[in-house]
Amino acid sequence: MINAIVLAAGKGTRMKTDLPKCAFPILEKPMINYIMDALDKTKVEKRIVVVGYKKEVFYDLLKNNCVFATQENQLGTADAVKAALNYLDDGITLIIPGDTPLINYEKINSLIETELALKKDITILTTFLDNPTGYGRIIRENGKIVRIAEEKDAYEDEKLIKEVNTGIMVVDNKFLKEAIHKIDNNNFKKEYYLTDLLKFTTDIASIILDDNDILYGINDLYALSRVEDMVRRNILKKHMLNGVNIINPESVTIYPDVVIEDGVTILQGSFISGNTIIKKGAIIGPNSELHNANVLENAKVKHSVVYDSRIGKGATVGPFAHIRMNAIIGEGNRIGNFVEVKNSILGTTTKASHLSYLGDSEIGNNVNIGCGSITVNYDGKKKSKTVIGNNVFVGCNSNLIAPIEIKDNAFIAAGSTITDNVDDNDLAIARSRQINKKGYAKKYK
């Protein structure tokens, strides 16, 4: 059995908030979830997450994705691992800090495969840093690792060593369960160091990390922002290598769970988050914001906001449109500047080119919504629905007072306030007769 222990019990006092450090969001996704996603692609079969401070936060975040062990008092990494011992099955265990969101599954698998092949007591992931301050130094004799000297306990000559411990290791469970109880806290910090496992064995292997960005520590909100930028760049790189044309990537943000097919173009200033899916040939931007959006083939979203909605094939949205709350924009639609569509379904080849509000509506095919027209869906107490059939023409500056139904092929005259249903092929006019008062304009000048 291949187990994993994720260490997430710490508070992270330098973050200066009440949220546990490992639960902090990076591009809206909790830090620990990046590690869990990486473990999904590895050989790990069982996960134990060690929690402590505000552990209920992790219960909600991870739910049925792992087993939880509780470290009642933060007495060091060895003490945290002790809390998980009763949950371990026979075999080997990956131990990884919960604040290493940049770790990738390939490196985890390489570490696990090395341990499986060599059958050592411990296999450690190390790396070389030009400035190793703050990290435990790898002490070797005749090329073999003999111990790890933590920063505050290291001798001055040991502090010159540039090979450091990443905090990630794989251990044999039989050895772990015997040796961990021998660890004491006779050190500067009076903590139980997991690295002291090396005192009880010489059967140690290591592999070297070749990407030190993975090791970037998160101890405060500034460091968090640096890691977030690294994550953002990695996401953009992945999409571009998969055939997504991203213009001026420095100005574009794409969140980790977004799915984009090859052949899509993302223009500068765009922000794409949530579970958004963008299909081939679509063009997003410039300066567009999408969240939980489903954009189908060859659709265009320009200078606009789309939340929790679907944009159909070949439809165009924007500039300066707002699509939200489960709106469905049909194939070939034209949603133009300063149009808002909320909780509405639009059929194919329907147009609302400018300055309109369509809320709580069901609109058919080939409908024209004139400039300034709105569905009046709220009477101050409840929302009501507007239903518009196929081939309907709604003239400019019309108010459709819901609940109301406009049937197929009807024509609404410009400037009308429609309060009653309109039948097939009818022309509806609802406006006062014009009266010109001779000479009255002089009174207002």
DSSP notation for 318-351: -SS-EEESS-EEPTT-EEEET-EEES-EE-TT-E
- Does 354 participate in catalysis according to the annotation? yes
- Residue 400's pLDDT is 97
Per-residue pLDDT at 6: 97
Query: Could you state, in order of their start, the residue ranges of all structural domains in the chain?
Result: 2-215, 243-428
Q: Does pLDDT of 18 surpass 90?
A: no
User: For tokens 């709220």, what's the residue?
Assistant: 378
Q: What is the pLDDT of residue 158?
A: 92
Backbone angles phi, psi at 317, to 5 degrees: -125, 125
Look at residue 278 in the predicted model and tell me its pLDDT: 98
Q: Which percentage of the chain shows pLDDT scores above 70? A: 100
Read off the pLDDT of residues 93-131 as tens digits, 9 standing for 90 and up: 999 999 999 998 999 999 999 999 999 999 999 999 999
> Once rounded to an integer, what is the mean pLDDT over residues 305-325?
98
Q: Hey, what amino acid is at 181?
A: H
243-428: CATH homologous superfamily? Hexapeptide repeat proteins (2.160.10.10)
Whether the predicted pLDDT of 219 surpasses 90: no
Helix (H) or strand (E) holding 433: none
- Smallest CA-to-CA distance from 366 within 338, 336, 396, 333 is with 333
8 Å CB contact between 101 and 35:
yes
- The pLDDT value recorded for residue 421 is 97
Whole-number pLDDT of residue 432: 86
Please compute the mean of the pLDDT values over residues 437-444 and round it to a whole number: 82
Work out the pLDDT band at 403, boundaries 50, 70, 90.
Answer: very high
The 3-class secondary structure across 65-79, one letter per residue, is HCEEEECCCCCCHHH
Q: What is the mean pLDDT of the chain?
A: 94
Among 144-153, 200-209, 211-220, 376-385, name the one with the lowest average pLDDT. 211-220
Q: What architecture is the 2-215 domain classified under in CATH?
A: Alpha-Beta Complex (3.90)
Longest dimension (CA), the chain: 109
Residues paired with residue 294 on neighbouring β-strands, in sequence order? 277, 310
Tens of pLDDT along 331-373? 999 999 999 999 999 999 999 999 999 999 999 999 999 999 9
| Helix and strand element counts for the chain (H, E) | 6, 41
Give the percent of the chain with pLDDT over 90: 84
* pLDDT over 90 at 266, yes or no: yes
For the segment 223-252, the average pLDDT, to the nearest whole number, is 95
Three-state secondary structure call for residue 412: strand
Residue 14: per-residue pLDDT: 75
Catalytic residue, candidates 239, 291, 303, 354: 354
pLDDT at 37 over 80: yes
Sheet holding 253-254, edge to edge: 253-254, 271-273, 289-291, 305-307, 322-324, 340-342, 357-359, 374-376, 399-401, 417-418
Give residue for tokens 């149009």.
Answer: 339
Q: What pLDDT is attached to residue 1?
A: 93
CA distances from 289 to 64, 97, 248, 254, 295 (A): 32, 34, 16, 10, 12
